[in-house]
A = this chain, B = another copy of it.
Amino acid sequence: MDSAILLVRVLDFVGTFVFALSGAALGVERRLDLFGVLVLAFVTAVVGGIVRDVLIGAIPPASVASWHNLALAVAAGLLVFWFARAVARLSQPVLVFDAVGLGVFAVAGTQKALDHGIDWPMAAVLGMLSGIGGGMVRDGLTAQVPTVLRSEIYAVAALAGGLVVVAGGALGLPPVPVALAGIGLCVFLRLMSLVRGWRLPVARPPEP
């Protein structure tokens, strides 16, 4: 198997698992029943990748045709459900899992879009979209304002991770270190925005 395809599979696996953890943790926090928790875990884990696959023409999407990601998301959901107290002891479980999933999916999504011949600017956008899509639906389903639209570096971090992959590919660098660098940059930017409050400028509308 092509090493780029294998890399995308491994990253999709990791991203699916941590996003499922983040969805399940939010579901427990909101006191959903067991099934609601599993649905939220699965939806958060696969929506970004499914949208990406539909848009690049990889139909049926991997998460639809086979049962692997379903099993993975259910396993993550059960884990969180049974160990709800332990998970809640993490200071911000949803945010932590979410940051890792964001970086992993942004990198995997960009790589897969490039492999399907999408222009590089849109490949980075599709990577960003597969990173932020799951969290947007997760937040929407639980009636929160999506994280992506609050004043924090979130989608920017995903985009930066995807652009590392684009740059690495253009320079002919080996894909695995490039992917790790992209994930690292994304997680770093996201954590800085949470811990240090890094922000982008806001336009000032005229005073009323």
Residue positions of A touching B, CB distance < 8 A: 28-29, 31-37, 39-40, 42, 50, 54-57, 59-61, 64-67, 70-71, 81-82, 84-85, 88-89, 116, 118-122, 125-126, 140-143, 145-146, 148-149, 151, 153, 155-156, 199-206
Asked whether A119 lies within 8 Å of B33 as measured between CB atoms, the reply is no
Q: State A36–B201 Cα separation when bound (angstroms).
A: 10
Known A-B contacts A34-B203, A203-B84; A60 and B70 likewise in contact (beta carbons under 8 Å): no
Known A-B contacts A54-B59, A60-B56, A64-B126; A202 and B33 likewise in contact (beta carbons under 8 Å): yes
> Min CB distance, A78 to chain B, in Å?
10
Question: Which residue of B57, B64, B70, B141 is within 8 Å of A56 (Cβ)?
Answer: B64
List chain B residues, Cβ under 8 A from A122: 64-67, 70
Q: State A122–B65 Cα separation when bound (angstroms).
A: 7
User: What secondary structure prevails in chain A residues at the interface with B?
Assistant: helix
> Min CB distance, A203 to chain B, in Å?
4
> Min CB distance, A156 to chain B, in Å?
5
List chain B residues, Cβ under 8 A from A116: 60
Beyond contacts A33-B151, A36-B151, A81-B203: 5 other A-B pairs, Cβ-Cβ < 8 A, are: A31-B151, A54-B55, A65-B118, A66-B122, A67-B122
Known A-B contacts A35-B156, A60-B56, A118-B64; A29 and B201 likewise in contact (beta carbons under 8 Å): no
List chain B residues, Cβ under 8 A from A81: 203
List chain B residues, Cβ under 8 A from A82: 203
Asked whether B54 lies within 8 Å of A151 as measured between CB atoms, the reply is no
Q: State A55–B37 Cα separation when bound (angstroms).
A: 23
Question: Which residue of B34, B84, B149 is within 8 Å of A32 (Cβ)?
Answer: B149
List chain B residues, Cβ under 8 A from A67: 119-122
> Min CB distance, A34 to chain B, in Å?
5
> Min CB distance, A199 to chain B, in Å?
6
Q: State A148–B43 Cα separation when bound (angstroms).
A: 13
Asked whether A205 lies within 8 Å of B55 as measured between CB atoms, the reply is no
Asked whether A141 lies within 8 Å of B146 as measured between CB atoms, the reply is yes
